[in-house]
Amino acid sequence: MEKAQLDLAAFRLVRVSPLAVGEIWSLIRQAVIRSTAPGTKLTEENLSNVLSSLLSERMLCWTLAEYNDEGKAVGLYMIGTTTIVTDTIADTKSLLIYSLYGLKMMSEELWKKTISLLSEYAKGQGCVSVMATTANRRMLKVAEGMGVSTDLRMITIGLGD
């Protein structure tokens, strides 16, 4: 059986406006909870901070959807959040992928397209890199398939409550 060819041109990464964030907060909230980096303690206060940051545009929300020939969205595949962080010592900015959550099964090519589009956005904002943390082996494979080094490890030492 031959695998169907994916039309990557039918997919668009769209920045969600603050007004729309309020309308789909329950979906964004679940995506953040399910995809935030391991070891991140998410309390209601943390989630309120995410919402506040999205509404003030200190953090951005993105969706990846498939569109038909008439330009109508026919399937929502991914929802994610990003923020720009500044290294004040090196005087550089990086786009931090805070969360990425696939709502439907996504091919490696589709994940690569998503990360590539986020990278283009980051470059346009003057960022020198895109950063993310993950323990998801599939996402590590996608990153490695893009030629990204996954050698750097983040060590987290819990200090209690």
The DSSP-derived string for 93-149 is EEEEEEEEEESS---HHHHHHHHHHHHHHHHHTT-SEEEE----HHHHHHHHHTT--
Q: 53: pLDDT confidence band, cut at 50, 70 and 90? A: very high
Q: Are 114 and 100 in contact (CB under 8 A)?
A: yes
Residue 4 has pLDDT above 50, yes or no: no
Per the listing, tokens 């406006």 go with 17
d(CA 24, CA 28): 6
Q: Which two tokens stand for residue 142?
A: 């996608």
CATH architecture of 11-145: 3-Layer(aba) Sandwich (3.40)
Domain boundaries, the chain: 11-145
Q: What is the pLDDT of residue 157?
A: 74
Q: What is the mean pLDDT of the chain?
A: 86
- pTM for the model stands at 0.84
Task: Return the H-helix or E-strand segment holding 28.
Answer: helix 25-35
| Average of per-residue pLDDT across 118-132 | 94
Mean pLDDT of 80-109: 92
* More confident of the two residues 52 and 141: 52
Confidence band for 6, pLDDT divided at 50, 70 and 90: low
Confidence of residue 34 (pLDDT cuts 50, 70, 90): confident
Please tell me the distance from the alpha carbon of residue 137 to that of residue 15, in angstroms, as a whole number: 27
Please give the average per-residue pLDDT across 64-78, as a whole number.
89
Is the per-residue pLDDT at 1 higher than 70? no
- Cβ neighbors of 148 (< 8 A, separation 6 or more) are none
Query: What is the pLDDT at residue 73?
Result: 87
User: Between 80 and 145, whose confidence is greater?
Assistant: 80
What's the average model confidence in pLDDT over 9-21? 92
CA angle 22, 117, 56 (to 5 degrees): 30
